[in-house]
Amino acid sequence: MWDSEFLLRVLWLVVCQAAAGSWSQANITSMLAPQADRVMVLGEWEERWQADRIGFHQPQVHKMLESNIDKVLAGRTGVRFFFPLCGKAVDMKWLADMGHSVVGVEISEKAVKQFFEENNMTYSEEPVPAIPGAKVYKSSERNISLYQCDLYNFSSSIEGEFGAIWDRGSLVAINPRDREKYAALIMSLMAKDCRYLLDTLLYNPELYTGPPFFVPDEQVHSLFGNSCDMELLQSVDALTDRHRAWGLDYLTENVHLITPKSV
């Protein structure tokens, strides 16, 4: 029989774990407080594209995608990649040139058109019946389809599930209060063998309002940890003069590999 001392010990452990759980949740909430209520409406992103205020765009393939690509592919060929909030990231062409397929979602039509034009690709343009107002732009030469719509109008019923996701300038760009909704959408787009590469930024949120927003590792775990395993692949000092001009004194860029738990 179980003695009462053993039962008390078990009970104590359960209480401690529950307390630690809610306490770390409280700590995450306090870390996020400075940016919690910051909201960018879609029109503000379009204004940035119209004014060419797109400092986030990089003319080269992202270093941290390049250095971790083997871990994302894990030996697979012809992988279907999803790019949430894709902008005109040249990473999409890089992957398609290697024989992978790319589906991106981006609200700005200017960004989508510039992607194809700057990469010398011809494309077709058609409406998306399942999403009123949305259009899909498809490359004629490569497997690249870019949906011009609000990300939250996209779902697995449009393009199925994906074998990989490259999330750069996306979780860090959406409004902080939408993170749970965003994580649920991303998880619904992950195939069982999906390998999700997530780029996050760590800095003092008291010094800059964002975007990009500060997303601590603790929150990455609380957003995805219930159904996914995760590994911090890389953590680099990313502070440049652009960020010093924002008032930042440090900036760390982290890359996480997130995979569905195999139950």
Binding site for ligand SAM (CB under 6 A): 42, 45, 56-57, 85-87, 89, 105-108, 111, 150-151, 168-170, 173
DSSP 45: H
* 101 interacts with, out of ligand NAG, ligand SAM, none, CB within 5 to 8 A per kind: ligand NAG
Q: Minimum CB separation from ligand NAG for residue 2, in Å?
A: 33
| Tokens found for residue 41 | 């409406």
124: three-class secondary structure by DSSP: strand
Q: Which of residues 22-61 bind ligand NAG (CB under 6 A)?
A: 24, 27, 30-31
* 220 interacts with, out of ligand SAM, ligand NAG, none, CB within 5 to 8 A per kind: none
* 169 interacts with, out of ligand SAM, ligand NAG, none, CB within 5 to 8 A per kind: ligand SAM
Closer residue to ligand SAM in complex, CB, 34/169: 169
Rounded to the nearest 10 degrees, the angle between the axes of helix 179-188 and helix 217-224 is: 50
Q: Minimum CB separation from ligand SAM for residue 143, in Å?
A: 19
Among the listed residues 259, 258, 244, 161, the one whose alpha carbon sits nearest the alpha carbon of residue 215: 258
Burial class of residue 160 in the structure, from the number of CB atoms within 10 Å of its CB (0-12 exposed, 13-18 middle, 19+ buried): exposed
Question: Vertex 196, ends 206 and 83: CA angle to 5°?
Answer: 80
Closer residue to ligand SAM in complex, CB, 110/225: 110
145 is a contact residue toward ligand NAG (CB under 6 A)? no
> How far apart are alpha carbons 220 and 180 in whole angstroms?
10
152 is a contact residue toward ligand NAG (CB under 6 A)? yes
Q: Minimum CB separation from ligand NAG for residue 4, in Å?
A: 32
Give yes or no for a contact between 250 and 258, defined as CB atoms under 8 angstroms apart: no
C-alpha dist (Å) from residue 166 to 65, 100, 185, 192: 8, 13, 14, 16
* 195 interacts with, out of ligand NAG, ligand SAM, none, CB within 5 to 8 A per kind: none
| Tokens found for residue 54 | 């797109």
222 is a contact residue toward ligand NAG (CB under 6 A)? no
Q: Minimum CB separation from ligand NAG for residue 101, in Å?
A: 5
**Sign of the four-CA dihedral 197, 198, 199, 203:** negative
Candidate list 120, 157, 237, 241; residue touching ligand NAG; CB under 6 A? 120
Closer residue to ligand SAM in complex, CB, 19/92: 92
Query: What string marks each residue from 66 to 105 as x (binds ligand NAG by CB under 6 A) or -?
Result: ------------x--------------------x-x----
* Residue 239 CB partners (closer than 8 Å, separation 6+): 248, 249, 250, 251
- Which residue ranges make up the site for ligand NAG (CB under 6 A)? 24, 27, 30-31, 78, 99, 101, 119-120, 131-132, 142-143, 150, 152-153
